């Protein structure tokens, strides 16, 4: 034995787990959020703001004061809608990055109904929601069709569709739909009163959208847990090969999922124009990056539909806290983006921690190190033809 050739083995061994217990997942997620909070605290200090006072202000103005709380919930509405849709899409490994564009498409659909149809009063709002949902679904169905029929990577197409939607809105409010009164900023005409959503008291909380969002979350939770469609989504997401064997039409399921997800995002767009702005406005004001933040909502919820509610509320808090930092603490307006970015990074990075743990190696095991881990050590003669293909993972 030539002992000098042997590599030093570490004293710990990674032990994968069969099933991550729920408490561990929650603990890891909370720890990730906690680390993000620590980094933000450091940013406060770096900007010369007393961290204790800063946090107190933020908590008071986003959670304790009624008006602040309503802002937090209001910002959670589009995140709920887009987030539950993305959760559904991600369950089947359809990596939809296009919720932002689908929100804008929904807003366009709602605006078209609000400004250019002559429906009787009580029908206007339902028609707007329907149109917004269909517009969003259509926007999301194109990349899904491209993926199902031609295998085009949906990450690229959904992302690019965001820009198409953004410039489409810009063209509309600068061109055919531009308000006569608009001089400096561009926007559309104001919606008639029938096309505006009621809000809760003096707040900007447009409760009909919130109600729709909560119902949708419940419906998706039920679909995933109890329906044939939910089972097909589950199988497809975990093993596309087994799904084909099980007779699941991957193209149809993907298309349906993508349309559902995008339709939900479209509803979020309706809520923003009909509940907040009351006209079609500049796309970056219309959606403050809700479509991207919704990706984080879906990831934080880790596949559990009902967990979207706390996840969306948390992100709503981050958005509302961003306003407080900007207005009350006079911190740069980019800071909320830093926070969402940090949380996203930490949540994704902490994912492996839910799937196993480090355990101390047996000292004897360290001493008697096995020679070399051969890459094909598990192969018994000619591996069966299908086993050679390791590129089964979908989604890239």
Interacting residues toward other proteins by CB under 8 A: 5, 18-19, 226-232, 234-235, 238-239, 241-242, 244-249, 371-372, 374-382, 384-388, 392
Give whichever of 207 and 231 is closer to other proteins, judged by the CB atom: 231
**Minimum Å distance from CB 20 to other proteins?**
12
**Minimum Å distance from CB 370 to other proteins?**
8
DSSP state letter for 13: E
**Minimum Å distance from CB 226 to other proteins?**
5
DSSP state letter for 206: -
DSSP-derived 3-state class of residue 354: helix
Residue with token string 């089947």: 92
**Minimum Å distance from CB 224 to other proteins?**
11
Give whichever of 118 and 381 is closer to other proteins, judged by the CB atom: 381
Q: Pick from 137, 140, 100: which is nearest to 293 by CA?
A: 100
Q: Pick from 121, 115, 86, 88: which is nearest to 100 by CA?
A: 86
Give whichever of 16 and 122 is closer to other proteins, judged by the CB atom: 16
Give whichever of 192 and 352 is closer to other proteins, judged by the CB atom: 352
**Minimum Å distance from CB 247 to other proteins?**
3
Distance (Å, rounded) from C-alpha 304 to C-alpha 261? 15
Give whichever of 241 and 365 is closer to other proteins, judged by the CB atom: 241
Give whichever of 367 and 373 is closer to other proteins, judged by the CB atom: 373
Give whichever of 5 and 202 is closer to other proteins, judged by the CB atom: 5
Cα–chain center distance at 207: 21
**Minimum Å distance from CB 256 to other proteins?**
12
DSSP-derived 3-state class of residue 153: coil
Distance (Å, rounded) from C-alpha 280 to C-alpha 272? 9
Q: Pick from 123, 115, 138, 74: which is nearest to 268 by CA?
A: 74
**Minimum Å distance from CB 260 to other proteins?**
14
Q: What is the phi-psi region of residue 289: left when phi exceeds 0, alpha when psi lies from -120 to 50, beta otherwise?
A: left
Distance (Å, rounded) from C-alpha 80 to C-alpha 219? 13
Q: Pick from 158, 114, 110: which is nearest to 134 by CA?
A: 110
């Amino acid at each position: 034995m030539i002992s000098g050739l042997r590599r030093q083995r570490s004293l710990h061994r990674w032990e994968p787990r069969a099933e991550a217990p729920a408490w561990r997942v929650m603990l890891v997620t909370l720890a990730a959020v906690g680390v993000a909070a620590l980094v933000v605290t450091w940013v406060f200090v770096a900007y010369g703001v007393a961290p204790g006072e800063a946090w107190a202000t933020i908590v008071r103005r986003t959670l304790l004061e009624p008006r602040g709380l309503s802002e937090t919930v209001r910002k959670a509405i589009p995140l709920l809608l887009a987030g539950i849709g993305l959760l559904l899409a991600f369950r089947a490994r359809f990596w939809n990055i296009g919720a932002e564009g689908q929100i804008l498409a929904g807003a366009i659909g709602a605006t078209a109904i609000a400004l250019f149809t002559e429906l009787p009063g009580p029908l206007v709002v339902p028609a707007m929601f329907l149109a917004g949902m269909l517009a969003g679904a259509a926007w999301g169905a194109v990349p899904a069709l491209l993926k199902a029929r031609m295998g085009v990577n949906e990450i690229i197409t959904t992302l690019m569709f965001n820009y198409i939607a953004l410039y489409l809105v810009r063209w509309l409010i600068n061109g055919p739909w531009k308000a006569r009164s608009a001089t400096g900023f561009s926007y559309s005409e104001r919606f008639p009163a029938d096309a505006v959503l009621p809000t809760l008291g003096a707040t900007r909380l447009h409760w009909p959208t919130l109600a729709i969002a909560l119902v949708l979350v419940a419906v998706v939770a039920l679909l995933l847990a109890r329906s044939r469609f939910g089972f097909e989504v589950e199988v497809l997401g975990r093993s596309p090969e087994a799904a084909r064997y099980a007779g699941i039409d991957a193209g149809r399921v993907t298309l349906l999922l993508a349309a559902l997800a995008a339709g939900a995002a479209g509803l979020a767009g309706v809520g923003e124009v009909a509940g907040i702005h009351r006209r079609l406005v500049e796309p970056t004001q219309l959606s403050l990056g809700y479509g991207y933040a919704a990706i984080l909502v879906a990831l934080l919820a880790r596949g559990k539909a009902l967990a979207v509610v706390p996840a969306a509320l948390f992100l709503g808090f981050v958005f509302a806290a961003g306003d407080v930092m900007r207005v009350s603490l006079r911190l740069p307006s980019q800071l909320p983006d830093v926070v969402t970015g940090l949380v996203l990074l930490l949540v994704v990075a902490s994912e492996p921690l839910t799937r196993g743990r480090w355990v101390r190696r047996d000292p004897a095991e360290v001493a008697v190190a096995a020679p070399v881990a051969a890459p094909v050590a598990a192969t018994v003669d000619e591996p069966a033809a299908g086993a050679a293909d390791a590129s089964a993972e979908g989604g890239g």
